[in-house]
Amino acid sequence: MSQPVPKPEPPTPEADRLVRMVVGGDTPAFAGLIRLYESDVWRIASTLVRDWEATENLVQQAFIDAYTHLHQYQLGTDFGAWIRTLTRNRLRKELRTLSRAEQRLAVYREQLAERLRAEEPVHDDSDVYLSALRSCREELPEDEAAILRLRYERGLSFEAIATRRGTTAAAVQRAISRIRFRLRACIEGQLKPT
């Protein structure tokens, strides 16, 4: 008579134990899963995203995805493989979103350049305009200058800036609109003939 074949240990018994706890209502147990897999998730996120802050945001989002979809994980399988797949999917989604945002920004820049060219007088006074712009930007409070740098130099979305600043995307958009209005008035004041 043959002996029963013992059931193989799951590849990640500690992860499965923590998943059971979280699914059972012990939300703080999720921190244990983060401790176990943070380096794996970080390694995947940092392979394509070279910016430390963006990598950190991606890692956080991957764990949020894992927590949100924890009920889909099958106990007894490899939790590490599952969360690595979630992380790769999140990375692909972020890269697609970034690509679309960059494309929209490129179209916007081109439209803005065309509009500015149409509004330009026949003579080229771009150096004078740029000088006035620089002068007016130097007069901005550091907080406002920082918002402009995030938006126009780093190309961050209103949402990304809002996350960094602990506010809403709508508030960031309004702030940038007000700053641009003041810059325009300042530039016009400097360009007026005396």
Question: Tell me: the pLDDT tens digits for 59-118?
Answer: 898 999 999 999 999 998 999 999 999 988 888 887 777 667 677 776 677 777 777 666
Please state the domain extents for the chain.
13-95, 120-191
Residue 122's pLDDT is what? 47
The CATH number assigned to the domain with range 120-191 reads 1.10.10.10
**pLDDT tens, position by position, 45-57:** 887 767 788 888 8
183: left (phi over 0), alpha (psi -120 to 50) or beta: alpha
Architecture of the 13-95 domain: Orthogonal Bundle (1.10)
Mean of pLDDT values over 155-181: 88
Residue 16's pLDDT is what? 92
Query: pTM of the entire structure?
Result: 0.47
Residue 125's pLDDT is what? 61
4: left (phi over 0), alpha (psi -120 to 50) or beta: beta
In the chain, helix, strand, coil percent, each to 5? 75, 0, 25
Residue 181's pLDDT is what? 85
* CA quadruple 8, 13, 15, 20: dihedral, nearest 10: 90
Q: Looking at the predicted structure, is the pLDDT value of residue 190 above 90? A: no
Least confident of 9-13, 18-22, 30-34: 9-13
**pLDDT tens, position by position, 2-16:** 566 555 444 678 999
Residue 111's pLDDT is what? 72
Q: Is 165 in a helix, a strand, or coil?
A: helix
21 alpha-carbon distance from chain centroid: 31
What phi, psi does 4 have (nearest 5°)?
-65, 140
CB burial of residue 83 (10 Å; 0-12, 13-18, 19+): buried
Tokens 């005396």 correspond to what residue? 194
Q: 137 with 151: CB under 8 angstroms? A: no
Q: 155 with 109: CB under 8 angstroms? A: no
Mean of pLDDT values over 173-191: 86
Residue 31's pLDDT is what? 92
Report the number of secondary-structure helices (H) and strands (E) in the chain.
8, 0
Q: What percent of the chain has pLDDT over 70?
A: 84
pLDDT: which is higher, 131 or 7: 131
